A and B are shown apart, each in its own frame.
Chain A
Amino acid sequence: MSENEGTGLRSNHDSPLEQLITRLLLRVLLVGMGFVVIMMLVTVVHAVGRYGFSEPIPGLVEMSSFMLVIIIFSSAAYTEMNGSHIVIGVLVDKFPQRVQAGLDCFMYILSLGLVVVTVWQTIKRGLFVEQIEYMSAVLHIPHYPFIYIAAFCWTLLGVAILIRLIHFVGRASGRITQ
């Protein structure tokens, strides 16, 4: 699905720190995907309970929505690190390598700026939601912890973007050839 799938940054140039961060992001992703399994099981139990015992799980929609927040945000950073977010390279792929890297640098500086602003705004939103004690309607689960989780995952995404940016700078300057 992604045009640049598999062109992530796993290479011999990876420093121990990068390898550590990649492993950490993968762990975060796997924890998030654990919620896919939980969501699957809860939904099946809900459907069976509804038809078999006339006892559906109350607040399933709310539970699934909160799990979805974790699932989507927890996977964003590793996906970025793996180079699997969709990009269209049909034009830039024709340029010389260093020009490509220069353009990528510029795009990733903009990306990093956007993510920093998003982290800031998400934390602000979390503080506000915590203050007004905004909760879900059925199970009365507060929203703010999940907003903070989203902010944390945006931060991880920022780290992944920063690491890719450093690689692009290396390529643009000719220090990294691959």
Chain B
Amino acid sequence: MSLFAIGLIGLVICFLLIFLRMPIYIAFCLVGLVGIAVVRGWNPALVTLGTVPYTTASMYVWSVVPLFVFMGFLALHSGLAQEFFAGIRKWIGHFPGGLALSVIVGNAGFGACSGDPVSSAVTFSAMCLPEMRKYGYSDKLTLGAVGAGSILSGLIPPSLLFIVFGAITETSIGQLFIGGIFPGFILALLYIATISIMCWRDPAIGPPCPKSTWKERWMAGTGMWALIGVFAVIIGGIFIGLFTPTEAGAAGAFIVLVLALLRKRLSWDDFKNVLKETGITTGMVGMLLIGTMVLNVFLVITRIPATIASFIGGVTDSTSGTLWVIVAVLFVLGCFIDSLALTLIMVPILFPITSQMGVHPVHFGIVFTIASVAGALTPPFGIVVYAISGVAKDVPLFDIFKGVMPFLACIVGLLALVIYFPSLSLYLPQLMI
């Protein structure tokens, strides 16, 4: 049997185990172990299992993960997200659909602290739904905006997916963060345009709120200005070469912690919860990374990425065509697989293909991330939609899926822009010091 056939069978078994509800990190390790044993023998396979997990866990590049996760949960538990939303509301709430627009801007701002769409979706659903109902907003618009807005956390730095992509492909995480700024803001603008058009066509779904005075606007939650400050420190620091991403994560977490303590917004119990949730997320991500690295050894031995690369190269030789094929594959897989798992499974396979075609790693990283986070909104898996449904129990799941559909069109539009205009993702990284 050829190496490729063994690799392919291994991948099929891996997917089978995953869909039979085996924890993904275990499925990766198990298939990696047995696969290496089949190709090279049991001794090298066992040595791999004894060395790769420790080597992976001790890679400095991953230190950025717990720091940003810690910062995100600190911001969440100290009420910064809520304050940011309240502040933005005072600025733009009086426009038609203003509260929905505030959800989008609030998510963009919260995305600067949390790289996790699910946290954003849960936070904003619980926070916004009662208030937006009070002002007569339709649930479909509210929850559609919440779901779509949460995706911004995956794009606006610091995004967990960028960190993972950068570490797996040895692409600069700082460049990915900076490269994600334009696409993230363009997506926010597309969402805003969509909400405005929807409310223009049917004003009843998003009536304007009472106008705040200028004094009220400027006095709007200190949390709003704090989040803007944290974003400036993280992104500004990376952009001008003051910080590495790890240092930016540490500085951001430190600032948020100090702010929370000074403003007495973090009790000891809150802090323990922050640590617990940071641990759960870090443990989940860390073990997935370990599993991926073990599986990767097997994939590389069987030359799976190289063979698939030459196959796709045979289908189309245009760069944009290849990217669209990849996007289509990710959209389909994203309907069933979480975006983080998708990144870990597919990046090692797809990255060599695009590298071979001369696609800039940052450009590919951003296209990949946009396409993989979109799956969080699509049926049947749509993890963000399920997370929202867990909070808004009285709204049918189908209505939430319907609510996010117009925003999915925005994501496809953004993908087209980023694929055909690589400078949208490459211009800022090229200016980095």
> Which residues of A line the B interface, CB within 8 A?
1-3, 26, 29-30, 32-34, 36-37, 39-41, 43-44, 46-47, 51, 61, 64-69, 71-80, 82, 84-92, 100, 103-104, 107, 110-111, 114, 117-118, 121-122, 124-125, 146-147, 150, 154
Question: How far is A107 from B21 in the complex, measured between Cα atoms in Å?
Answer: 8
Known: A43-B67, A69-B58. A76 touches B250 (CB 8 A): no
Cross-chain contact B30 with A47 (CB below 8 angstroms): no
A40 touches B67 (CB 8 A): yes
Which residues of B sit under 8 angstroms from A147, Cβ to Cβ? 54
Contact B336 A90 (CB under 8 A): yes
Report B295-321 residues with CB < 8 Å from chain A CB.
Answer: none
Whether A118 contacts B49 by the Cβ 8 Å rule is yes
Across the interface, name the chain B residue whose C-beta is closest to A113: B30
B225-255 vs A, CB cutoff 8 Å, 1 = contact: the mask equals 0000000000000000011001101110110
Q: Are A122 and B54 in contact, CB atoms less than 8 angstroms apart?
A: yes
Residue of A32, A77, A88, A118 with highest tally of chain B CB at under 10 A: A88
Most buried by B among A26, A77, A92, A121: A121
Q: Is A72 a contact of B282 with CB atoms below 8 Å?
A: yes
A75→B60 contact, CB < 8 A? no
Q: Is the CB of A3 within 8 A of B247?
A: no
Convert B112-130 into 0s and 1s, putting 1 for each residue whose CB lies closer than 8 angstroms to a CB of A: 0000101000000000000
Cβ of A30: which chain B residues have Cβ within 8 Å of it? 272, 275-276, 279
Q: Is the CB of A68 within 8 A of B57?
A: yes
Task: Please indicate the chain B residues that have their CB under 8 angstroms from the CB of A124 in the complex.
Answer: 50
Question: Are the C-beta atoms of B63 and A64 separated by less than 8 Å?
Answer: yes
B289 contacts which chain A residues (CB < 8 A)?
72
Residues of B within 8 A of A107 (CB): 17, 20-23, 26
CB contacts (< 8 Å) of B257 on chain A: these are 40
**Complex CA distance for A102 and B45, rounded to whole angstroms:** 29
- Contacts A33-B278, A86-B284 given; does A40 touch B254 at CB 8 Å: yes
Residues in chain A near residue B251, CB distance under 8 A: 43-44, 47
Contact A79 B47, beta carbon cutoff 8 Å: no
Which of A3, A40, A43, A73 meets B338, CB within 8 Å? A3
State whether B283 touches A76 (Cβ < 8 A): yes
Give CA–CA (A85, B67) in the complex, Å.
19
| Complex A-B: 15 CB contacts under 8 Å | A2-B284, A30-B276, A33-B276, A33-B279, A43-B251, A47-B250, A68-B62, A71-B279, A74-B279, A79-B279, A79-B287, A84-B284, A91-B20, A125-B51, A147-B54
Q: Which single member of A33, A43, A74, A121 contacts B246 (CB below 8 Å)? A: A43
CA of A1 to CA of B386 in the docked complex: distance in angstroms? 11
- Are B49 and A85 in contact, CB atoms less than 8 angstroms apart? no
Question: If the complex has contacts A1-B383, A40-B250, A68-B63, are A121 and B283 also in contact, measured as CB distance less than 8 A?
Answer: no
Secondary structure type dominating chain A contacts:
helix
B25, B250, B282: the one contacting A43 at CB < 8 Å is: B250
Closest 8 CB pairs of A and B: A75-B283, A121-B50, A72-B286, A79-B283, A43-B250, A75-B279, A33-B275, A125-B50
**B340 close to A (CB within 8 Å):** yes
Establish whether residues A78 and B20, one from each chain, have CB atoms under 8 Å apart when the complex forms: no
| A99, chain B: closest CB distance, angstroms | 11
Contact of A88 among B30, B278, B336 (CB under 8 A): B336
Sample of 8 more A-B contacts, CB < 8 Å, known A1-B338, A39-B63: A30-B272, A37-B275, A51-B242, A72-B62, A72-B287, A78-B283, A86-B338, A110-B22
Report if B66 contacts A (CB, 8 A): yes
Contact between A76 and B30, CB atoms less than 8 A apart: no
Q: How far is the CA of A80 from the CA of B417 in the complex (A)?
A: 40
**Residues in B neighbouring A32, C-beta threshold 8 A:** 279
Q: Is the pair B282, A75 in contact by a Cβ cutoff of 8 Å?
A: yes
Do A114 and B276 touch (CB < 8 A)? no
Beta-carbon contacts under 8 Å, B261-283 to A: 272, 275-276, 278-283
**Selected contact of A146 from candidates B54, B118, B341, B383, CB within 8 Å:** B54
- Check if B220 is an interface residue, CB within 8 A of chain A: no
Which residues of B (325-364) have their CB < 8 Å from a CB of A? 336-338, 340-341
- Whether A85 lies near B118 (C-beta < 8 A) is no
In the complex, the answer to whether B20 meets A103 with C-beta atoms within 8 Å is: yes
In whole angstroms, what is the CA distance A39 to B253 when docked? 11
Q: How far is the CB of B365 from chain A (nearest CB, A)?
A: 19
- Given A40, A66, A111, A121, which contacts B47 in the complex, CB threshold below 8 Å? A121
Q: Residues of B contacting A68 with CB < 8 Å? A: 57-60, 62-63, 66
Determine the chain B residues whose CB is within 8 A of the CB of A121 once the complex forms.
46-47, 49-50
Residue of B nearest to A36 (CB): B66
Least CB distance from A17 to B in Å reads: 21
- Shortest A48–chain B CB gap in Å is 9
What is the bound-complex CA distance between A67 and B58, given in angstroms?
Answer: 8
Which B residues touch A71, using CB under 8 A? 66, 279, 282, 286
B36, CB-defined interface residue at 8 Å: no
- A114 and B33 within 8 A (CB): yes
Does B218 reach chain A (CB closer than 8 Å)? no
Q: CA A34 – CA B278 in complex, angstroms?
A: 11
Partner of B60, one of A29, A34, A61, A90: A61
Q: Known: A33-B279, A43-B67. Contact between A110 and B54, CB under 8 A?
A: no
CB <8 Å contact, A64 and B23: no
Query: Do B67 and A36 touch across chains, with their CB atoms under 8 A apart?
Result: yes
Which of B21, B243, B246, B247 is close to A103, meaning CB atoms less than 8 Å apart?
B21
Quick check: B23 and A87 within 8 Å, CB to CB?
yes
| A1 contacts B281, C-beta separation under 8 Å | yes
Given A40-B253, A104-B21, check contact A110 B50 (CB 8 Å). Answer: no
